[in-house]
Structure 1
């Protein structure tokens, strides 16, 4: 966690600045004009980009920040970061040295994964507080409980993304391959949820995407969420982490 402190600060400041820009930009816009634009867009596009109520501050934040930054951007970031944790040590011949110490493979993998909890927690706490303060600063209102829920319920989703990266990290020997595969996997899963939303024949595909179980815009607008979805994400995270453990135990370093 100590080694991730600098990166966590940089990432948190960057996301906070982007949030500040989006909130400031909303203060310059005409909400009615945005509502008219939204009405002209296909329903599938509105759902994919979280723009169902883009004329309100909650809908605007859901579409511009929580859909792109949280679902896609941070999902890719945590999958990419996790994908390099084990694979980079194997590629650079550090894993032999690490495993020569009195530490099990299971403990090593769990502690490397646990270091990701630092940026995950700090991002949600700091950016959540910054967002709420900025919304009040421009004279708008947003329910603080809805905002807190949007951040809290994002943690199971981000854990799944990180676990996908960890599985890939123990599958391959080269960190670059694992990282690229993790980025591609999260993007494809996000696209699956977006693309099959209105296609009944392949609607079942959306259930394999973690994006399906975390919808930030409805949470921000009305506080609507399914506790079962968070449970499914947590179960998926635990399952992926167990798979990573089994693969790491069996592989030849």
Structure 2
């Protein structure tokens, strides 16, 4: 059991380390840069220097504290956008790449079901998702202590835990694209476009008459500002993301069963 998950997880180990190192460097730089910014300018007024569309797109609430600064510079940009797009792109090759390279026929000749292949390979994404969250959380907490601006351990840990279903939901978009398209390159581009489009729908329609359209976007249910600034955890949003993941997996499995290879 779980042979596909173990095999894919092992293949993703090296990439997971690189990803964790990259995001940790981004986190350390953001923490290190904050004292320089706070000494050089009035951080309470820095928010007003941004154009209104950017304030709305990145949901900039305040940059007058390390928590607010990280919410924008690290989590809204690094987690919500960069990692969301990365995992959508990565998941888009789960099925499509083997079809594209002609390996899927050989794989399906074994006594294994299509839903199992899709599910186990999707589950293997837990390796990079968990690795990047664990390593970066430690780096953020240690770096904040080193500059004399300690953060709430509970809030930082909660934020990274809540990001896990968000990143899996973005990956679910990629999985769906992966079973719809035969070519991995097309599936990856579609996954990137749809994920970024959902981000724009959620961020730019907030406060308009069309705000309800954002309910389909995973970004609505993961809000770094609420965790770091207010210490509130959206468990309902996390439950919705879990439901979204289950739905995306189920639809992907059903389509994979019905389609010709």
Give, in whole Å, the separation in 2 of the partners of 1:128 and 1:30. Answer: 23
TM, length-normalised to structure 2:
0.93
CA shift, 1:197, in A, is 1.1
Q: What is residue 76 of structure 1 aligned with on the other side? A: 85
Show structure 1 runs of 4+ deviating over 6 A: none
Q: Provide, for residues 80-131 of structure 1, a one-character-per-residue CA deviation record: whole Å limited to 9, x for no partner.
A: 0110110010011100011111211111111111110000011111100111
Aligned match for 1:207, one of 207, 215, 222: 215
Kindly tell me: are residues 159 and 69 of structure 1, through their superposed partners in 2, closer, same or farther at Cα, counting changes over 3 Å?
A: same
Give, in whole Å, the separation in 1 of the partners of 2:229 and 2:150. Answer: 11
Q: What is residue 239 of structure 2 aligned with on the other side? A: 231
Taking the TM superposition and a 5 Å limit, the aligned residue runs for 1:98-177 are 98-177=107-186
CA shift, 1:79, in A, is 0.6
Give, in whole Å, the separation in 1 of the partners of 2:19 and 2:51. Answer: 34
Give, in whole Å, the separation in 2 of the partners of 1:104 and 1:206. Answer: 35
Q: RMSD between aligned alpha carbons?
A: 1.4
Q: Provide, for residues 210-248 of structure 1, a one-character-per-residue CA deviation record: whole Å limited to 9, x for no partner.
A: 101110122011212321111111001100100000000
Give, in whole Å, the separation in 2 of the partners of 1:7 and 1:128. Answer: 18
Q: What is residue 67 of structure 1 aligned with on the other side? A: 76
**SS of the residue aligned with 1:30?**
helix
Q: Provide, for residues 1-53 of structure 1, a one-character-per-residue CA deviation record: whole Å limited to 9, x for no partner.
A: 11001100111111111111111111212266121121455666434314212
Question: What are structure 1's unaligned runs of at least 5 residues?
Answer: none
Give, in whole Å, the separation in 2 of the partners of 1:40 and 1:62. Answer: 17
Give, in whole Å, the separation in 2 of the partners of 1:39 and 1:90. Answer: 50
Give, in whole Å, the separation in 1 of the partners of 2:51 and 2:155. Answer: 27
Q: What is residue 3 of structure 2 aligned with on the other side? A: none
Q: What is residue 252 of structure 1 aligned with on the other side? A: 260
**SS of the residue aligned with 2:111?**
coil
**SS of the residue aligned with 1:16?**
helix
Aligned match for 2:225, one of 203, 212, 217: 217
